[in-house]
Amino acid sequence: MRSLFVFLLVMAGVVSAQDGLLPSPIPQELRRYLELTDAQANGAQRLNAQLAGYRAGKARRQFQVQQELADEMAKNPLDPTAIGLRHVELESIRREIEAEQRKTVEAIQALLTPAQRTRLDGLAQVLRQYSTACSAVAWNFLTEPFPVPSAPNQGWETFLFVQPGFLAAAGCPAGPIRGDFLPATFPLIP
């Protein structure tokens, strides 16, 4: 079932990339904040579309390797070399995607003026402080930075989006989740 979900997710990304739907337009608030010209925005969208196409190709290969890995794991006896090679290939693909993303970031930043890069440095500082800010909200040193929108009815949507302390509006997790690397005694959200 998991492999079917991954396959459908990959194929949706491939179809969207082929249709030109990925990536979505640059949000207006980001365009205004950085004071992007149309040429800069178009260049950034073109570079991001190229990255999306690159990622889609790599995702197809990752899916194939994961299927091969599952096949190898089902065999008896296990072939450690075959299993190890597939793990190495998955890591190589991950590193290739990471390197391509770094190149894309550098290429997009090259489109910016020095003043725009200074504004971008401000956003980078905010990202470095993000987890600290989320911790301050979680520990009630701060309130959520903006009001949570109210839902039109009092159904399930209201519970998800309006409950006090639900930090989705701030983009902060409500607490550590299973899979986080935490001390064994730390309480986890299931």
76 DSSP assignment: S
Supply the pLDDT for residue 143.
81
What count of residues does the chain have?
Answer: 190
Closest CA to 50 of 106, 104, 124: 104
Residues 75 and 168 in one domain: no
pLDDT digits (tens, 9 = 90+) for 106-150: 999 999 999 999 999 999 988 888 888 888 888 888 887 665 444
- Rounded Cα distance, 174 and 190, in Å: 12
Decide which of 62, 83, 112 is a domain's last residue. 112
pLDDT digits (tens, 9 = 90+) for 4-43: 554 555 555 544 444 444 567 899 999 999 999 999 999 9
Residues 104 and 154 in one domain: no
Supply the pLDDT for residue 180.
42
Residues 98 and 35 in one domain: yes
How many domains is the chain partitioned into structurally? 2
Closest CA to 59 of 24, 22, 26: 22
The DSSP element (H or E) to which 133 belongs, if any, is: helix 114-138
- Rounded Cα distance, 70 and 105, in Å: 34
- Rounded Cα distance, 133 and 126, in Å: 9
Supply the pLDDT for residue 75.
94
Residues 133 and 91 in one domain: no
As given in the structure block, the two tokens for residue 104 are 């894309």
> Residue 121, exposed/middle/buried by CB under 10 A (0-12, 13-18, 19+)?
exposed
Question: Domain span at residue 61?
Answer: 1-112
- Kindly report whether the global pTM for this prediction surpasses the value 0.75: no
